[in-house]
Amino acid sequence: MKWEWPTKVRLLDFPEGGESPERYRLLRRNMIILMILVTIFPLFFMAVVNYHQYQTSLKDEILNPLRVLVDKTRHSFELFLAERLSAVSFIASAYSFDQLADENTLNRIFTVTRQEFGGFVDLGLIDGNGVQVSYVGPYELKGKNYHEQSWFHEVQIRGSYISDVFMGYRKFPHIVIAIQKRNNEGRIWILRATIDTERFNDLIASMRLDPRSDAFLLNRSGIFQTPSKWYGGVLEPFPMPLPPFTNEATVLEEQDTQGRQILLAYTYFPHSPYILAVVKPRAEVLRAWTTLKTELFLVFLVSVILIFLVVFRLTNVMVRHLRESDERREAAFREMQHGHKLSSIGRLAAGVAHEINNPMAIINEKAGLMKDLIGYGADFPEKAKFLSLIDSILNSVHRCRSITHRLLGFARRMEVHIETLDLNEVIRETFSFLEKEALYRNLEIKMELAESLPRIASDRGQLQQLFLNLLNNAFAAVEDGGRISVTSWEHDIDTLAVSIQDNGCGMSPETIKHIFEPFFTTKKGSGTGLGLSITYGIAKRLGGDIQVQSEVGHGTTMTVYLPRKSAEDLQDSK
């Protein structure tokens, strides 16, 4: 059936009555749409809600460890810097300017500090004019004037200073920590230490990231303070815009300069000019979410397919049962109408037969008397002709009696005599009446009567009339040399069946609808139209039924179903 999406759907409108295919097509369409709506919509709504819930919870579950890692590493950096700044500040507080100006003392302090804290490259004392008055380290920096450098002015304003990573005179990445001190006489000096940034790399390595991840330190100008695996070396610019300022570890979904979808976890240092960043491929981090999302989609898709299959299957079954129920109800209604019609016509026929029988009896009596008088009277010239005319009258009266007899039988005026009998024997007896005609017309008669068929309680005479009528119709339907098959079998434990099949002209569906109606005949001018209606009445009266299968040009099969018990016994058993 080709599906046409309706332009205006009225889902609760169903065509009433009738058995047209359009009614059941609309019924099936509306039921499918309604059932799909009430099942798919809640499923879709639940899938969307679950999708967002899972997405939120799973992303938090996946990204939180990354935030914690970034936060812990930042604290490690801050602790490292705070320890060095405290060490320098303690030295500046514990020793006077003159003591620190003595390079022997300064060297002893530097050696102890380097052993205890590590990472110190050199240590120098700078007076208030920016001149380095003492220095301990691998370079010749004593006497160098820092008065014009920006860090010198910044440390004078803030009291302490932590620089970005730079090369400077040392030609390797390092940072500077400086502390300003003022004695009671108002003399100002600055203790300045250089820290090797290799410790930064050690802290990043301690994060133990997988090979597909990257971590680095930036300053607030977007310059690498530690090397990056993907984006550049120390003091090279970061190729992407700096993430927005935040003191808390934050994760952003970005696309890097190489077109990869990444997760950028970062945090700003609150007391240092640094930004710690960790980069991970988004697909790797969210692999669990992607897998779950795919599984959710597959579950949703499979559920939808199953719902469609169940809805289509269930709807087809329901509509088919409804259609069959309607057809049975319609057939029962037609049968009831047919029964009422037969009953009315039967009463009418009985009345007509009764009224005709009386004058026919008088005509028969008077015609017989006329025949006797003429036959035994004197001869006259037209005597033979009169006798012939009287015989015609008597024959017509006999035919009228036969018709009225059938009418009375149709009207159930003929009494039923129940006896136990052999159905096959009744069939053979009935066929013997037509055996000569079959032989004369060279008809092929095939008897397939079931052996050991159980005996039934029925009326022999009624059954003979029933089978005689059906055989007469079969004989009339076939041409000379045609084929007729008579078959009997045990249909079920309570019912026997007899079919009479011919290869005659067959009947159209329209004819089949009316063949059991009284006075309906296809034998124009030769039939009374009572044969099959009487046959049908006999079958019903005996508690049986008749079914017809016929196709024009291919023949007809009349199947008679008869109960093993009589109709009265069946009524009593109920």
**Secondary structure (DSSP) of 233-298:** -TTSBPSSPPPPP-SS-EEEEEE-TTS-EEEEEEEE-SSSSEEEEEEEEHHHHTHHHHHHHHHHHH
**Average pLDDT rounded to a whole number, residues 289-297:** 83
Choosing from 246, 263, 284, the residue where a domain stops is 284
Residue 495 lies in a domain: yes
Residue 427 lies in a domain: yes
pLDDT-derived band at 107 (thresholds 50, 70, 90) equals very high
Q: Convert 149-172 into a string of H (helix), E (strand) and C (coil).
A: CHHHHHHHHHCEEECCCECHHHCC
**Average pLDDT rounded to a whole number, residues 285-314:** 86
In this predicted structure, what is the pLDDT of residue 557?
93
**Average pLDDT rounded to a whole number, residues 514-534:** 69
State the Cα–Cα distance between residues 503 and 557, nearest whole angstrom. 9
* Phi, psi angle pair for 548, to nearest 5°: -120, 135
pLDDT-derived band at 41 (thresholds 50, 70, 90) equals confident
CATH number at residue 115: 3.30.450.20
Q: Tokens 């502390």 appear where?
A: 179
Which residues are CB-contacts of 233 (< 8 A; sequence separation ≥ 6)?
Answer: 224, 227
* Residues making up the chain, counted from first to last: 574
Quote the mean pLDDT of the chain.
84
Tell me which of 345 and 104 has the higher pLDDT: 104
pLDDT higher than threshold 70 for residue 528: no
Pairing of strands 483-492, 444-449: parallel
Of 306, 519, 504, 264, the residue nearest 407 (C-alpha) = 519
Residue 573 lies in a domain: no
| Domains in the chain, number | 2
Q: Which helix (H) or strand (E) holds 302?
A: helix 287-376
Tell me which of 464 and 484 has the higher pLDDT: 484
State the Cα–Cα distance between residues 551 and 509, nearest whole angstrom. 8
Cβ distance 529 to 518 under 8 Å?
yes
In this predicted structure, what is the pLDDT of residue 413?
45
CATH number at residue 522: 3.30.565.10
What DSSP character marks residue 7? Answer: S
The amino acid that residue 60 corresponds to is D
pLDDT-derived band at 346 (thresholds 50, 70, 90) equals low
**Average pLDDT rounded to a whole number, residues 179-205:** 88
Tell me the pTM.
Answer: 0.49
**Secondary structure (DSSP) of 317-351:** HHHHHHHHHHHHHHHHHHHHHHHHHHHHHHHHHHH
In this predicted structure, what is the pLDDT of residue 8?
54
In this predicted structure, what is the pLDDT of residue 75?
92
Cβ distance 285 to 59 under 8 Å?
no
State the Cα–Cα distance between residues 134 and 141, nearest whole angstrom. 9
In this predicted structure, what is the pLDDT of residue 404?
75
Long-range pairs, 102-107, Cβ under 8 A, ≥24: 102/134, 103/134, 103/135, 103/136, 106/134, 106/135, 106/136, 107/136
Of 145, 85, 72, 76, the residue nearest 117 (C-alpha) = 85
Sign of dihedral through CA atoms 92, 93, 95, 97? positive
Q: What is the pLDDT of residues 371-418, one digit of tens each?
A: 888 888 888 888 888 888 988 898 888 878 777 776 666 555 455 678
Residue 319 lies in a domain: no
* Phi, psi angle pair for 473, to nearest 5°: -65, -40
- From 119-128, 321-330, 500-509, the region with the lowest mean pLDDT: 321-330
For 469-523, list the strands marked E by DSSP. Answer: 483-492, 495-502
Q: For a pLDDT cut of 90, what percent of the chain falls above it?
A: 24
Choosing from 249, 284, 319, the residue where a domain stops is 284
The edge-to-edge listing of strands for the beta sheet with 545-551 is 444-449, 483-492, 495-502, 555-563, 545-551
Task: Please state, in angstroms and as integers, the Cα–Cα distance from residue 348 to each residue in 195, 359, 408, 532, 536, following that order.
Answer: 129, 18, 10, 18, 18
**Average pLDDT rounded to a whole number, residues 240-248:** 89
* Phi, psi angle pair for 252, to nearest 5°: -120, 145
In this predicted structure, what is the pLDDT of residue 341?
67
pLDDT-derived band at 1 (thresholds 50, 70, 90) equals very low
In this predicted structure, what is the pLDDT of residue 192?
93
| Ordered alpha helix ranges (H), 4-102 | 21-94, 97-101
β-bridge mates for residue 188, sequence order = 182
State the Cα–Cα distance between residues 249 and 74, nearest whole angstrom. 9
Residue 87, both tokens: 């060490």
In this predicted structure, what is the pLDDT of residue 10?
61
In this predicted structure, what is the pLDDT of residue 17?
55
In this predicted structure, what is the pLDDT of residue 135?
93
Q: What is the pLDDT of residues 127-148, one digit of tens each?
A: 988 999 999 988 888 888 988 8
Residue 460 lies in a domain: yes
Tell me which of 463 and 571 has the higher pLDDT: 463
Residue 420 shares a structural domain with residue 279: no
In this predicted structure, what is the pLDDT of residue 132?
92
Residue 215 lies in a domain: yes
Which residues are CB-contacts of 296 (< 8 A; sequence separation ≥ 6)?
Answer: 47, 50, 51, 54
Cβ distance 175 to 195 under 8 Å?
yes
pLDDT-derived band at 13 (thresholds 50, 70, 90) equals low
Residue 318 lies in a domain: no
Residue 307 lies in a domain: no
Choosing from 229, 263, 284, the residue where a domain stops is 284
pLDDT higher than threshold 70 for residue 57: yes
Residue 278 shares a structural domain with residue 422: no
Domain that holds residue 201: 66-284
In this predicted structure, what is the pLDDT of residue 525?
53
Most confident of 245-254, 436-445, 494-503: 494-503
State the Cα–Cα distance between residues 146 and 131, nearest whole angstrom. 6
State the Cα–Cα distance between residues 168 and 185, nearest whole angstrom. 33
The edge-to-edge listing of strands for the beta sheet with 160-162 is 132-136, 120-127, 188-196, 174-182, 160-162
Long-range pairs, 332-337, Cβ under 8 A, ≥24: none
**SS3 at position 446:** strand
State the Cα–Cα distance between residues 159 and 362, nearest whole angstrom. 153
pLDDT-derived band at 275 (thresholds 50, 70, 90) equals very high
pLDDT higher than threshold 70 for residue 486: yes
